[in-house]
Amino acid sequence: MAAKRFGIVAALPRELALLVGKLKPDAVSLEQGIARYELPNAVVVAAGMGAGRAMLAVEACGDVETLISVGLAGACSPRLMPGSVAEARVVLDTQTGERYGAASTTDIVLATTPVIASVAEKARLALAYDAAMVDMEAAAVARLARTRDLPFRAIKAISDAHDFELEGLSKFAGPRGEFRTGAFALYTALRPAMWPKAIKLGGDSSRALKALTAKLQQVIAEP
């Protein structure tokens, strides 16, 4: 079987929902906590947050010609606004210091960290690495792309500004890298002071994912 043109890797199924529409994920993959979809010229996979789950997602892609890390990211710089889409030229693994080039004409550095970044951490990443945005998976995807000698891209939807933080998000990560939405909703419902921030994050994330979907549809359709 010929290789698919693109392997598109995200953390959460929500980040891919608009792209895959009404397609059903592979049942076998779901047993492992991996949502895998096949488009005509792309395999689209969400396996959870973090490097380990991103590696599983890449494996689930199978034989592809290009790997693309996609999904939500936080801004580390005021130059990137919530609701927008940005493509990185460099991906930095903050745990190892490794840098990976990406197929982009921008000057944007994307930092990958093991946990959701606080405002203080975003500021540190901007100062130490000139990072414009931060995620939890791109470096793992980039590492595997390099190992396989595949072209790599990192296209991210900006969910939150450099000075925005919703405290406690990390505690809602499940054992398979899933986000426990129900538990987060209950936690937030009991804390009215969090409501304005939660509403803003939800709205900005939705706008960003719409923009990301439009960008990915354009990429997939390129000759």
Contacts of 23 (CB under 8 A, 6+ apart): 37, 38, 39
Is the predicted pLDDT of residue 29 greater than 90, yes or no? no
Number of neighbouring beta carbons within 10 Å of residue 197: 15
Query: Distance (Å, rounded) from C-alpha 81 to C-alpha 204?
Result: 9
- Contact present, 133 and 75 (Cβ < 8 Å): yes
Over residues 11-32, mean pLDDT? 90
| pLDDT confidence of residue 176 | 80
pLDDT confidence tier of residue 17, bands split at 50, 70 and 90: very high
pTM of the predicted protein model: 0.93
| pLDDT confidence of residue 85 | 98
**In the chain, where does DSSP find H-type helix?**
17-20, 27-30, 51-61, 119-129, 138-147, 181-189, 195-221
Q: Token digits for 80? A: 């990137």
| pLDDT confidence of residue 96 | 96
* 95: nearest Cα among 148, 156, 138: 138
User: Any bridge partners for residue 100, and if so which?
Assistant: 91
Q: Token digits for 148? A: 């396989």
Q: Dihedrals φ, ψ of 189, to 5°?
A: -60, -30
Question: Which residue range(s) make up the domain with 98?
Answer: 4-221
Is the predicted pLDDT of residue 1 greater than 70, yes or no? no
Q: Which residue has the higher pLDDT, 191 or 108?
A: 108
| pLDDT confidence of residue 101 | 96
Among the listed ranges 11-15, 34-38, 165-169, 199-203, which one has the minimum average pLDDT value?
165-169
Q: Which residue has the higher pLDDT, 15 or 176?
A: 15
Could you write out the three-class secondary structure of 75-115? ECCCCCCCCCEEECCEEEECCCCCEEECCCCCCCEEEECCC
Among the listed ranges 55-69, 105-119, 130-144, 184-198, which one has the minimum average pLDDT value?
184-198
Is the predicted pLDDT of residue 76 greater than 70, yes or no? yes
Q: Which residue has the higher pLDDT, 146 or 166?
A: 146
For the chain, the domain total comes to: 1
CATH code of the domain covering residue 22 = 3.40.50.1580
At position 74, the amino acid (one-letter code) is G
- Contact present, 157 and 214 (Cβ < 8 Å): no
pLDDT confidence tier of residue 180, bands split at 50, 70 and 90: confident
Q: Which residue has the higher pLDDT, 28 or 96?
A: 96
* 68: nearest Cα among 37, 45, 39, 94: 45
| pLDDT confidence of residue 182 | 86
- Contact present, 113 and 136 (Cβ < 8 Å): yes
Over residues 151-169, mean pLDDT? 94
